[in-house]
């Protein structure tokens, strides 16, 4: 993976989270970014990083980092381990229940360091 900003949303500050080698492809980890739990995923198939809120608004628990990533059509998503709703890793949309949405964060790779953007 080359040094690049993966998601293009603007960030006012980059928070260093972990080394890229700490991530296992196709799985998530949870990181505390400021006071917010953030789920970070590395898709080895796409060679791409994603970051979303770890909080599942339907199951009302911080569990999304333990979900399974995959795709539905062209959308890359994570399935919540609780009730299996799918959240788009790029937009934060819930595919089954549009009234629910989580925050998607910009992600940057600086050298081997994964950074999450906050506003």
List, for residues 26-46, the tens digit of each pLDDT value.
999 999 998 999 999 999 999
Boundaries of every domain in the chain: 4-118
Kindly indicate the confidence band of residue 11, based on its pLDDT and cuts at 50, 70 and 90. low
Residue 12: per-residue pLDDT: 79
Higher-scoring residue by pLDDT: 76, 1: 76
- Specify the pLDDT at position 1: 52
Say what the pLDDT of residue 10 is. 59
* CATH T-level assignment (fold) for domain 4-118: Rieske Iron-sulfur Protein (2.102.10)
What is the per-residue DSSP string for 55-100? EETTTTEE-GGGSEEEEETTEEEEE-TTT--EEETTT-BBSS-TT-
Q: Report helix, strand or coil for 31.
A: strand
d(CA 55, CA 39): 9
Q: Is the pLDDT of residue 4 over 50?
A: no
In this prediction, residue 3 has a pLDDT band, given cuts at 50, 70 and 90, of very low
**How buried is 21 (Cβ within 10 angstroms: 0-12 exposed, 13-18 middle, 19+ buried)?**
exposed
Q: What does the pLDDT look like over 37-91, one tens digit per residue?
A: 999 999 999 999 999 999 999 999 999 999 999 999 999 999 999 999 999 999 9
């Amino acid at each position: 993976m080359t040094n690049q900003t993966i998601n293009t949303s603007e960030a006012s500050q980059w928070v260093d989270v972990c080394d890229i080698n700490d991530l296992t492809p196709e799985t998530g980890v949870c990181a505390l970014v400021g006071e917010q739990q953030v789920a970070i995923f590395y898709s080895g198939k796409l060679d791409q990083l994603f970051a979303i809120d770890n909080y599942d608004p339907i199951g009302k628990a911080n569990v999304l980092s333990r979900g399974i990533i995959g795709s539905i059509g062209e959308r890359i998503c994570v399935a919540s381990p609780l009730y299996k709703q799918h959240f788009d890793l790029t937009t934060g949309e819930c595919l089954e229940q549009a009234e629910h949405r989580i925050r998607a964060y910009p992600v940057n790779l600086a050298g081997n360091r994964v950074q999450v953007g906050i506003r």
